[in-house]
Amino acid sequence: MADDNKTHASPKRLPLAEEGIMETLLLPFSPRFIVLTICAVVTALLIGIGISDGKIFDILLIPILIFGALTLLGVRDLLQKSHAVLRNYPISAHIRFLLEEIRPEMRQYFFESEKDGMPFSRDTRAVVYQRAKMELDKRPFGTQEDVYREGYEWMHHSVSPKAHATEKFRVVIGGPDCAKPYSASVFNISAMSFGALSPNAVRALNAGAKKGGFAHDTGEGGVSPYHREMGGDIIWEIGSGYFGCRHLDGSFDPEAFARVAGDDQIKMVELKVSQGAKPGHGGVLPAAKVSEEISKIRGVAMGEDCISPASHRAFSTPVGMMQFIAEMRRLSGGKPAGFKLCIGHPWEFLAICKAMLQTGIYPDFIVVDGNEGGTGAAPLEFMDHLGMPMREGVNFVHNALVGINARDRIKIGASGKIATAFDMARAMAIGADWCNSARGFMFSLGCIQSLSCHTDRCPTGVATQDPTRARALYVPLKIDRVHNYHHATLHSLTELIAAAGLEHPQQLRPIHFSQRTSTTQVKSFAQLYPALRPGELLEGTEDPRFRDAWQMARAETFQPAL
């Protein structure tokens, strides 16, 4: 019993200091550092063997260099302070960075289904490639869409389809104040600047536009020699930097504008108020990237940052904006003048509408850019969560113009993730007169959606200023592909319009489309996008989408009357 009262002796433990020493000594053999340890030991052994037997040193030289380089890399990983994972896992952690680097390609080529992929699905990209190459663009066996999922959309067909239209679908842009209206295709190249695109990309797009009889928007980077070289119709976009028509201090230069806008190749002038992918966000091209060529095209000084402010200096009120558009139209010799924007605060666009009524100045066109639109680079928050999507924006602008009795004199263009004939028909049903596409035409040039536009390392030579990369884009071939894509897409639109029992896309209305709002409920676009009556805003509307915003809107300021 006495033994039961004895305290059992606990195992002896090493003093804490000795435990710490042992852990330190064993650390090189832990999973975290074992790769570096192996490389260092192998390097030392190979050097030792090579020294002891000089005859085989030459044979061992390459392995020594390989394992020695890995050892040095591991030491560098231990000492650097930028990446914690490399300090904890020298050498082996580089596998993580390699996998991160190839992850987009692995997903795109091996794991993406036909309907996956953003911003554009594999199926959409494939149909653009096929149409650009004039290859078979049909699909077998049946749709891969889940037609019962929430959000699925379709177009209604007629039991009495029409014959396919033989005329090219065009729309005349230019109101009563326009001296030189422009007959535009209903499908055109959206705004992309030289600088964002390579010279060869601009050449191919403009020449393709000339061959197909459609227009090419310059983007806010100015009219470059590569736009002029091929002779295609140009829509000149003027942003807040006034590139190509500015004084050295960045202010608008009317004389420079008149010189450029008077060129017969320029068919319309477009004021850029905001861009869908990054509305309210300016831009800076660092001085180091302002080449002599860009300096000349944009009218900026060498050695200084090229700044595109978030807002315009030429005007600050809705009335001032209308007066500036009237000045653009006058200086251009009476060509169609309008503006592009992404809808933000609804009262601001309605303030522009009130300024139209107050001044009697109306733009010839408005291009509505959606927040799903493309860009070379933008902050994530701006791309994902700022600005109204294209469809809601187009319908809002359409209804606002109907509500002030101005819809018949102002044409509406839609831009934002448009690539197929269905995209076009859907946008035109809710208010657009024509559609612009940027990334669709980039795909026709060979863009593979590598999402590297902002790195200057575009693998296809489309979105880069690196001449060694841009040379990969063979202009004569791409001219045909740009033209083919435009032609085939309009042919598909012709088939859709005929199937709906219509003769022209301008006959499309919201009643021609439906959307599944749940697995058991379907709504017509006419229910999803209610229409205002002509003059309803002037009479005083009770529509909750417009009532409060219309009351807050003031022609004298963009600020709301609260």
Q: What are the structural domain ranges in the chain?
A: 16-94, 167-472+529-552
| pLDDT, tens digit, 9 for 90 and up, residues 453-512 | 988 899 999 999 899 999 999 999 999 999 999 999 999 999 999 999 999 999 999 999
150: left (phi over 0), alpha (psi -120 to 50) or beta: beta
- Mean predicted confidence (pLDDT) in 538-543: 95
| pLDDT, tens digit, 9 for 90 and up, residues 2-48 | 455 544 555 566 566 667 787 778 888 899 999 999 999 999 999 99
- Give the helix/strand (H/E) hosting 268: strand 266-272
- DSSP letter (8 states) at residue 235: E
Q: Is there a contact between 236 and 266 (Cβ–Cβ < 8 Å)?
A: yes
Alpha-carbon distances, residue 99 vs 92, 306, 457, 560 (angstroms): 12, 36, 19, 50
| pLDDT, tens digit, 9 for 90 and up, residues 309-342 | 889 999 999 999 999 999 999 999 999 999 999 9
491: left (phi over 0), alpha (psi -120 to 50) or beta: alpha
- Mean predicted confidence (pLDDT) in 132-159: 95
Query: What's the CATH class of domain 167-472+529-552?
Result: alpha beta
Instruction: Say whether 431 sits in a helix, a strand or coil.
Output: coil
| pLDDT, tens digit, 9 for 90 and up, residues 478-487 | 999 999 999 9
Residue 410 class from Cβ within 10 Å (0-12 exposed, 13-18 middle, 19+ buried)? Answer: buried
Q: Who has greater pLDDT, 7 or 242?
A: 242
Whole-angstrom distance, CA of residue 439 vs CA of residue 315 = 31
User: Phi and psi of 450, rounded to 5°?
Assistant: -80, -10
Distance of CA 339 to the CA centre of its chain: 19
Whole-angstrom distance, CA of residue 561 vs CA of residue 550 = 10
Closest listed residue to residue 550, CA positions, set 558, 559, 540, 528 = 540
Sign of CA pseudo-dihedral 40, 41, 45, 51: positive
Sign of CA pseudo-dihedral 546, 547, 549, 550: positive
Can you give the pTM of this predicted structure?
A: 0.89
- DSSP letter (8 states) at residue 435: E
Range list of H helices, 332-447: 346-359, 380-385, 390-403, 421-429, 439-445
Mean pLDDT (the chain, rounded): 93
Give the pLDDT confidence score for residue 281 in this predicted structure. 86
- Name the residue with tokens 């959409």: 124
Q: Who has greater pLDDT, 297 or 345?
A: 345
Give the pLDDT confidence score for residue 229 in this predicted structure. 95
| pLDDT, tens digit, 9 for 90 and up, residues 418-459 | 999 999 999 999 999 999 999 999 999 999 999 999 888 999
pLDDT higher than threshold 70 for residue 178: yes
Residue 365 class from Cβ within 10 Å (0-12 exposed, 13-18 middle, 19+ buried)? Answer: buried
Give the pLDDT confidence score for residue 298 in this predicted structure. 86
What percent of the chain stands above pLDDT 90? 79
- Exposure letters 527-560 (e unless 16+ CB within 10 A, then b): ebbebbebebbeeebeeebbeebbebbbbeebeb
Distance of CA 434 to the CA centre of its chain: 19
Give the pLDDT confidence score for residue 531 in this predicted structure. 97
283-285/306-308 β-pairing: antiparallel
Give the pLDDT confidence score for residue 1 in this predicted structure. 47
